[in-house]
Amino acid sequence: MRAPSLRPSHRRPPSLAIRTRVRAHVGAAARLLVGAALAGACRESIGISTTEPEVGPGTVYALVSANELPLPASFTNEGRTVQLRKGALTLGTDSTFIFSYAQRTAVTNGLPSEGVVTVRGQYRRNGTVLALLQQADTVFTGTFAATTVNLTVRRATVTGQRFVFVR
């Protein structure tokens, strides 16, 4: 194997016209890539979240309204807008519950953020009366039917005060 020569190359440099065409193609490709990246970023910032409410084993009810507003429901407080996108209530056979909802939060002049709020605990049911508890404190009260659950906030820190779930 021969070692590379350190002598200058005797080939002629490409003409100015060829160099200009190569630069134009490279510039167009770069602009195309930057444009695609920006378009992708814009799509992500306004797209629907893939964040899903948490559910568990048991009977699952889908959240259909919050404060009498159908989902997605938006609430504004102190310059902050919260949109409840979807939610679920799971009533387990072991008397546990999971109340979870996906939300999108935007602060005035800020970027939106997305996440899931989940409240867990025990539930008690007496006929159609339902109470959801955390560490012996009642956090939600409401009514229960085979296909519908209505809840009102007592102590839980969640967006909204009244929730309707259907099965």
Alpha-carbon distances of 28 from 17, 21, 42, 96, 108, rounded to whole Å: 17, 11, 21, 59, 37
Are 29 and 95 part of one and the same domain?
Answer: no
pLDDT digit string, tens, across residues 147-162 = 999 999 998 888 889 9
On whether residue 2 sits in a domain, the answer given is no
| pLDDT recorded at residue 23 | 45
| Residue 70 · residue 83 · CB < 8 Å | no
CATH number at residue 145: 2.40.128
Per-residue pLDDT of 108-132, as tens digits, reads 677 778 899 999 999 999 999 999 9
**Rounded mean pLDDT, 40-60:** 62
- Please give the pLDDT value at position 107: 76
| Structural domain count, the chain | 2
Q: What's the number of CA atoms in the CB half-sphere (13 Å) around residue 20?
A: 3
Question: Residue 8 — pLDDT band, cuts 50, 70, 90?
Answer: very low
C-alpha distances in angstroms, 67 versus 58, 108, 158? 25, 23, 12
Helix (H) or strand (E) holding 26: helix 16-46
Q: What one-letter code names the amino acid at 166? A: V
pLDDT confidence bin for 68, thresholds 50/70/90:
very high
What is the model's pLDDT at position 52?
Answer: 85
Q: Is residue 147 part of a domain?
A: yes
